[in-house]
Structure 1
Amino acid sequence: MSDKRVTVIDIAKAAGVSKSTVSLVLQGSPLVNESTRTKVSAVMRDLGYVYNRGAANLRQTGSKTRIIGVVVNDLTNSFFAELAVGVDMVVQSAGFVQFLSNTSESIDRQREVIASMREHGISGLIVSPARGTAAADFKPLVAAGIPVVAVVRGLPGARISSVLSANMEGAIEAVRHLATLGHKRIAFMGGFANTEVFRERLAGYRQAMEDLGLGFSEDLVIASAPSRAGGVDAVGRAMAMPDRPTAALCFNDAVAFGACDGLRARRLEPGEDFAVIGFDDVIEAGTAVPALTTVAVDPQGMGRRAAQLLLKQINAGKPEPETIVTAVRLVVRESCGAHRGPVDVEQMRKKA
């Protein structure tokens, strides 16, 4: 089949049955015998047919659905909860509702929930893709004219829009700040190495370390799950090094919170015995003890921008891919030990 949308008539022709029989199968009617139901279902799978339940329910009135699909890769991370709140602020005021789902980094689960959302006739989709997602996974949505906005994680080659953050610039600023506090052995902790966000933040860390004359060492890059448990694991490995680091830029705030937990388990105090910087600035960062120094991404703001972009594309009717990169800023709090005061970075670079 071509990229054009498969219809009930196409299914009927391929299965050798009437259009009304296909409709009865879709409705789960007991009037269809099991062998016919099996044959029609097999043809639908082969042709990639998606039953639009929302369209079926609204066909009588000619209305459009007012549903926005939102798919995230880790709803246990409060970053994505805050992002979803930002999306809801915009879509609710525009008369839409969001259909939220979590994939837990499973590509199979991602395909299932997106297929289910299409069945309910979503008007558009906001997605933070699961690890390993291919650009081709979104080709059917693009072909069907359903606007898609990737948020947090971009998907080069997918011909969909994106709302991303300035990851490299944020990492550079964080490392430079740690250097001004006198740190020379600075680790990069957490994150999955096969994601674009990890690569961008690591690239910023590496560039800053080299520009400051501190050198880049693979030993100081400690990948782990981007979670609180991952942070505990990463800081444990860092503390086991013969020449251990004195500070760390963490992949995200969840890893940073875990790093603080792991330090305390070893009777080390974050901000006093070891400097910690996170990335995201979730709500908890400001109330943690010690309060977390972090690169502020503004998850609610990203959600609002993604929703605004999606609604613009829905209204346009024929979406054109667009990329928005949001600015970030370093928010200095207690976990980095900033109260100790700065040192001369240029002088330190010359001595290194």
Structure 2
Amino acid sequence: MTRSRVTVIDIARAAGVSKSTVSLVLQASPLVNEQTRAKVNAAIRELGYVYNRGAANLRQTASSKIVGIVVNDLTNSFFAELAVGMDMVMQSAGFVQFLANTGESLDRQREVIASMHEHGISGLIISPARGTEAADFKPLTAAGIPVVIVVRNIAGAKVSSLLSDNYAGAREATEHLLSLGHRRIAFLGGFSDTTVALERVHGYRDALVQAGIAADDALIVNSAPSRAGGVAAVERAMLLAEPPTAALCFNDAVAFGVCDGLRARGVEPGRDFGVVGFDGVIEAQAAVPALTTVSVDPQGMGRRAAQMLLKQINSGRVEAEAMVTSVRLAVRQSCGAAMKDMGRRNTA
């Protein structure tokens, strides 16, 4: 009786790991810890698996019509719109997309990248999870597979990047709130260890300093960049001895949560408190009140990222390029009227 061929799936099952982890071990990737590597190698020996490196290399280098798209939070509509923009370009170019959501998990991100690599993707667009390092892209770049990073920059990664002008957007939004008469302006939401948050806080701080206002660290409240994170952040901010009268939010999701949290306290956004978001998602226009936001045009950003990747795929050369897109402040009802008008209504 002929013995069936041992597969990567058999190895993964025997070692109690994912198929992608087995692939990383077979590629001698430094991303796998030694204990896991030892387990996988033991299973390989026990089952008598033979890795056909020539066939694997052929799969990886053969021209395919498949691209990988990896985002860190598909529950945020910004990333859904970003993916739609990518799809518009990739579909018209005849490419099929593998889409994965990491949920900010580095382990999940490494697994999906390894799996996409194994399936012979021609290129990858990724909004990296927190803590991503340049080394995470080495298996792809070493194989000549182009990578485009969007939204979050990774220091030292020799791949293309497409970012928005976070500093300028945050500065303009803060200046707008200052022009309405606000002096206690909070920055709410976002993880402090991401480049996006650091750049936006920098723009916010510089606008305050330029106006002669000392930036109060108590008014910078970090939280998850989500609607629930916005609720938590504004609750903490409003407990301060001298609470803010307005807030620049890390993103639109946080801004929606801030509006929810304000209403729970009997404070009406746009009337009693100025709220500004960041991203410019479609829901911002339909929100009540309509959300003032720094628009980065997520769908347009997705289209540009896809065009950058296609340019490298079609040229057959992986040449890293960096692009920073401009942003604009879309002023709507949520930022409120001037402080003097607010004061008249509140005392009437």
Helix, strand or coil for the counterpart of 2:247? strand
Which one of the candidate residues 42, 45, 49 is aligned to 2:25? 45
Specify the alignment match of 1:229 in structure 2: 228
Q: Is the 8 A contact 2:249 2:276 kept in 1?
A: yes
CA distance in 1, matches of 2:168, 2:232: 26
Specify the alignment match of 1:321 in structure 2: 320
CA distance in 1, matches of 2:205, 2:96: 42
CA distance in 2, matches of 1:220, 1:314: 46
Superposition deviation, residue 44 in structure 1:
7.6
Superposition deviation, residue 90 in structure 1:
0.3
CA distance in 1, matches of 2:68, 2:62: 18
Residues 1:124 and 1:268: Cα distance change in structure 2 (over 3 Å)? same
Specify the alignment match of 1:15 in structure 2: none
Specify the alignment match of 2:167 in structure 1: 168
Superposition deviation, residue 317 in structure 1:
1.2
Alignment of 1:308-347 (within 5 A): 308-338=307-337
Superposition deviation, residue 42 in structure 1:
7.9
Specify the alignment match of 1:83 in structure 2: 82
Helix, strand or coil for the counterpart of 2:176? helix
Specify the alignment match of 1:151 in structure 2: 150
The residue type equivalent to 2:167 in the other structure is M
Specify the alignment match of 2:98 in structure 1: 99
Alignment of 1:235-254 (within 5 A): 235-254=234-253
Superposition deviation, residue 232 in structure 1:
0.2
CA distance in 2, matches of 1:299, 1:43: 33
TM-score, normalised to structure 2, is 0.83
The reply on whether 1:127 has 2:126 as its aligned counterpart is yes
Residues 1:42 and 1:162: Cα distance change in structure 2 (over 3 Å)? closer
Question: Which structure 2 residue ranges, 5 or more long, are not aligned?
Answer: 15-20, 30-50, 342-348
Specify the alignment match of 1:191 in structure 2: 190
CA deviation digits over 1:55-78, x for unaligned, max 9? Answer: 87x97xx96211110000000000
CA distance in 1, matches of 2:339, 2:22: 68
CA deviation digits over 1:28-79, x for unaligned, max 9? Answer: 79xxxx9xxxxxx989826527x899x87x97xx962111100000000000
CA deviation digits over 1:139-194, x for unaligned, max 9? Answer: 11111100000000011201010000000000010000001100001000000001
CA distance in 2, matches of 1:173, 1:233: 25
Specify the alignment match of 2:259 in structure 1: 260
Residues 1:237 and 1:135: Cα distance change in structure 2 (over 3 Å)? same
Superposition deviation, residue 119 in structure 1:
1.4
CA deviation digits over 1:256-312, x for unaligned, max 9? Answer: 000000000011100111100000010000000000000001000110000000000
The residue type equivalent to 1:177 in the other structure is H
Specify the alignment match of 2:34 in structure 1: none
Residues 1:192 and 1:52: Cα distance change in structure 2 (over 3 Å)? farther
Specify the alignment match of 1:281 in structure 2: 280
Superposition deviation, residue 100 in structure 1:
0.4
Helix, strand or coil for the counterpart of 1:305? helix
Residues 1:81 and 1:236: Cα distance change in structure 2 (over 3 Å)? same
The residue type equivalent to 1:331 in the other structure is A
CA distance in 1, matches of 2:27, 2:211: 57
Aligned residues: percent identity? 67
Superposition deviation, residue 24 in structure 1:
4.0
Specify the alignment match of 2:269 in structure 1: 270
Specify the alignment match of 1:200 in structure 2: 199
Superposition deviation, residue 339 in structure 1:
7.0
Q: Is the 8 A contact 1:263 1:269 kept in 2?
A: yes
Residues 1:242 and 1:311: Cα distance change in structure 2 (over 3 Å)? same
CA distance in 2, matches of 1:208, 1:325: 21
Superposition deviation, residue 84 in structure 1:
0.2
CA deviation digits over 1:212-243, x for unaligned, max 9? Answer: 11111111100000000000001001111110
Q: Is the 8 A contact 1:332 1:338 kept in 2?
A: no
CA distance in 1, matches of 2:7, 2:89: 34
CA distance in 2, matches of 1:43, 1:230: 36
Question: Which structure 1 residue ranges, 5 or more long, are not aligned?
Answer: 1-20, 35-40, 343-352
The reply on whether 1:219 has 2:199 as its aligned counterpart is no
Over the aligned positions, Cα root-mean-square deviation in angstroms equals 2.9
Specify the alignment match of 2:17 in structure 1: none
Q: Is the 8 A contact 1:52 1:118 kept in 2?
A: no
TM-score, normalised to structure 1, is 0.82
Helix, strand or coil for the counterpart of 1:173? helix
